[in-house]
Amino acid sequence: MTAPILTLLRKDLTLFVKNKAGLTLTFLVPFVMIWVFGQVFGLNRKDEGPSGIGIGVVNASAHPAAAAWVDALKQEKGLRLITSMDAGENQTRPLREEDLRSKIENSEFNFALVIPEDFVSEDRLGLRIKIYSNPRNEIEAQMVNGILQKALFSNIPKMLGSVLTEKSRTFLGTERQAAFNTQMAELITRNYGGDPAEIKRRLESGDFLGQSEPKSTSDGNKDGGTEGAEGENIFSRILKIDTEQVVGKDVVAPAATRIVGGFAMQFLLFALSAGATALLQERDQGLYHRLLAGPVSRYHILVSRFLHGIIVGVVQLVVLFLSAQLLFGVNVTGHLPLLIVVSLFAAAACAAFGMLIASVARTIEAANGMATLLILTMSAIGGAWFPLYLMPEFIQKAARFTLVFWSMQGFDYVLWNQVGLVKLVPTLLVLAAITAVVMSVALWQFSRNRLFD
């Protein structure tokens, strides 16, 4: 009874092993996906946090506390501070506040911090900063806010103490303040104990909570302790933060608008890749022999397949976006003409991608496996699944070579940034270049293989 089962099992295993493309992709696809997910979640990376979220920083304050805060932000590995810009002729100049809006609109960075000239003012007690943002990615926005607050609240007690010390010095004069600090240190020592010299040093530096020398807890870890947490609560009430959302403030359904482009691209790639493998199916069915017997050339067959992919792709994208409006309230009809333009270029790039797969794959199984691997990889590193800043820097750079990245940027420009056609042109040109290069390689491959023989 078991003999037939063993025979069939051996037959299946033999066929599986002989299918080298299928065998390779069976193990290669999960290996690549595991590696990508490992990079996202920081496995085996020295730094498990986000890598290099760009944030523009303008420090217009001459107060030492502002410089100290900027230095603290530079130590945050999750941030990449941008403090200067190209001024032409191989020169750079410091960023100014008036530069920030345009750079955020152009996606050079999504967040900017301004430490104004009156960061510390003699007219009020407290600190003031301003934050410009483009919360295109909600996770990224929360991460940046968390890092800024962490760096700020860790330094506020000392910064504010420094401000109070300076105001006291201005009011009393240097000599009278020194005498005051000496008397205060002696009074504190007499009533609460401690080293009078150390207490005086802290009074003079404004380090009232001892933030420069964190206490050691019972478990050996160093932190600000309960006093630091209470200090954060107190000082968060006297910190004035002006915020301005530069891009996306008029988006109707921000949560759905953020993700619809990535999903649309992934479905489009799968659909067009399946369509391209139809070339191989038609070859196996002997259809080309009959077509080439008539007034049809190989060029006609390939171009018609490419145009078919573009038309199907545009229709599919438009239907997907209209579904997003119907189901989740994404404002699609208000931007439909530009959305169709971006969809046209994205569909052309995807159709060329499908043609390339059909040109290099020898069998339908190999084409499907290759398409699955490339689509999942491009979607993962191109930003369709995860924010790019979660990836290592080299993957962030590699993402710019994927059509998923540029297509999503085009959709974002239309639906989130709500820009006009002129600002879309660079993105469209990149998609057109990708289409031209990929299609050229595909045609070259078609000229070398035996698809039509």
Q: Could you report the per-residue pLDDT of 16-36, keeping only the tens digit for each?
A: 888 776 777 778 777 877 887
pLDDT attached to residue 436: 95
Between 429 and 66, name the one with better pLDDT.
429
Q: Report, as an integer, the average pLDDT of 190-219.
A: 64
Beta bridge pairs of residue 131: 113, 243
Between 365 and 9, name the one with better pLDDT.
9
Lowest mean pLDDT across 115-124, 211-220, 298-307, 331-340: 211-220
pLDDT attached to residue 226: 46
The residues, any chain, with a CB within 8 Å of residue 351's CB and separated by 6 or more, are 272, 276, 306, 308, 309, 310, 313, 435
105 pLDDT more than 70:
yes
pLDDT attached to residue 234: 53
pLDDT per position as a tens digit, 31-57: 877 887 777 666 666 655 556 788 899
pLDDT attached to residue 376: 84
221 pLDDT more than 60:
no
pLDDT attached to residue 290: 79
Strongest mean pLDDT among 206-215, 282-291, 350-359? 350-359
2 pLDDT more than 80:
no
What is the share, in percent, of the chain residues with pLDDT greater than 90? 15
On average, the pLDDT of the chain sits at 80
pLDDT attached to residue 222: 42
